[in-house]
Amino acid sequence: MLTARELKDRYAAGENIGELLRKVRGETRNTPEIIELSYDLQTGSYILAMQDPAMREHKRLYATEIARVILSLCDPRSVLEAGCGEATTPSGVLAAMGRDIQAFGFDISWSRVAWAVRWLAAEQVEQATLCTGSLLQIPFADDSIDVVYTSHSIEPNGGNEASILLELFRVTRRFLVLLEPGYELSGPEARQRMDHHGYCRNLKGVAESLGDSVLAHEPFPHIANPLNPTAIAIIAKSQSAGSRQSSFVLACPKTKSPLDDLGGALFSAEALTVYPGIGGIACLRAENGILASKYLDMFA
C-alpha cells in the first residue's frame, strides 16, 4: 500500500501517478481516488506553467476563444467551470468576457481549489465562488447555471461519460460547452495514448443517446498537445429549461437540495449532513459530508 506521502515523492521523482496507481490497483480506468491523488499531487504545476510566455499566450488564446463561443450562444448571468483545476482557464475566460458575471468552479482536489483561489486573487478576478465537488455528484442545483463548461476535466473519467453528462446537463440552464479530448476526431497515435491513460470517448454520441441536442462537435483551434487535441461540443438545453431558474446555486451533492451557511459549514436540512469549510473552501463532495441530525439544535 503506497501512502500519499510516498506517492508525492514518486511524483517529485518524475513518475506518472495515474499510471502507477492503475497498475498497483489493477485498474484499466481511473477511479475517483486515482484521479484525486494524481491531480492533487500535481497542484501548482499549472500556475507555474503560466510563467512560460508561450504557455501563457496559448492559454490566453484558448480562454478567449471559449469566451467568444459562450457569448455567441447567449448573454449569461452565470458560468461554471466543472473541474476547474487551478483556475488558469476560468481566469482567462472571465477576463475575455469582460462583464459582470457570477462565476463558479469546483474540482475533486482540495489543493487545486486552494491554489485556484490564490491564482484568481493574483489575477484580480473577484467574482468567483469555488468549492470542492465531484463531476459524478455535482454540488449545484438543477438548472442553476446559464452556461456550464469543462476544459479537459471529463478527460480522465473514461467509462463514466454518461453519468457525468447527465450531471452536467442537470445543472445547466441554457448551454453546456465541452472542451475535451477529441477521440473520434484524432489519429491512431493520439487515440492509443488516450486509451492508455483511460480518457473519455464519444461524448457527442453519449450526449445524443441521452437525448441531448448537440449543436456542434469539431476540433478546437487552440491545442496544447497534438497527441491530446481538444474538441469542442456545444449542447443546448430545451427552451422550457431555459425559462426555469433555480432559487439557489450551491446544493447538497446527495439530495441537490439547498444548503444553509451555519457555524462555518454548509448544512443540508434534507440529508441532515454538514459539509465542512477547510481553509475557507466549502468541501462539497458527498464523502466530505458528516451526518449530524442534531446540527441545527446547536444554534437554537
Kindly list the residues in this chain that would bind ligand SAM in the complex (CB under 6 A). 32, 35, 39, 46, 83-85, 88-89, 107-109, 112, 134-136, 151-153, 155-157
Q: How far is the CB of 298 from ligand SAM (least distance, A)?
A: 31
Coil/strand/helix, residue 129: strand
Of the two residues 201 and 295, which places its CB atom closer to ligand SAM in the complex? 201
DSSP class per residue in 134-199:
BTTB-SB-TT-EEEEEEESSSTT-TT-HHHHHHHHHHHEEEEEEEEEE-GGGS-HHHHHHHHHTT-
- C-alpha 232/C-alpha 216 separation (Å) is 7
Print the SS3 string covering 50-83: CCCHHHHHHHHHHHHHHHHHHHHHCCCCEEEEEC
The set of cell numbers assigned to 103 is 462565476
CB of 86 to ligand SAM, least distance (A): 7
Q: Which is nearer to ligand SAM, 155 or 161 (CB)?
A: 155
- Residue 194 CB, shortest distance to ligand SAM, in Å, is 13
> Which residue number is nearest to ligand SAM in terms of Cβ?
85
- Element housing 267 (H / E): strand 265-268
Measured from the CB atom, is 42 or 255 closer to ligand SAM? 42
Q: CA-to-CA distance for 131 and 47, rounded, in angstroms?
A: 18
- CB within 8 A of 261, min separation 6: which ones? none
Nearer residue to ligand SAM within complex by CB, 43 or 144: 43
Task: Return the DSSP state at 230.
Answer: E
Residues constituting the chain: 300
> What's the min distance (Å) between Cβ of 216 and ligand SAM?
20
Q: Which three cell numbers stand for residue 236?
A: 443546448
The distance of closest approach from Cβ of residue 294 to ligand SAM in the complex, given in angstroms and rounded to an integer, is 31
**Which CA distances in Å does 6 have to 15, 31, 38, 114, 162?**
11, 19, 12, 22, 34
Identify which of residues 101 and 131 has a Cβ nearer to ligand SAM in the complex.
131
Q: How far is the CB of 218 from ligand SAM (least distance, A)?
A: 19
Nearer to ligand SAM among residue 96 and residue 272 (C-beta): 96
Query: Shortest distance, CB of residue 284 to ligand SAM, whole angstroms?
Result: 11
Pick between residue 138 and residue 249 the one whose CB is nearest to ligand SAM: 138
Cβ-based nearer residue to ligand SAM, 88 or 295 = 88
Contact 245, 200 (CB under 8 A): no
Smallest gap from Cβ 45 to ligand SAM, in A, equals 10
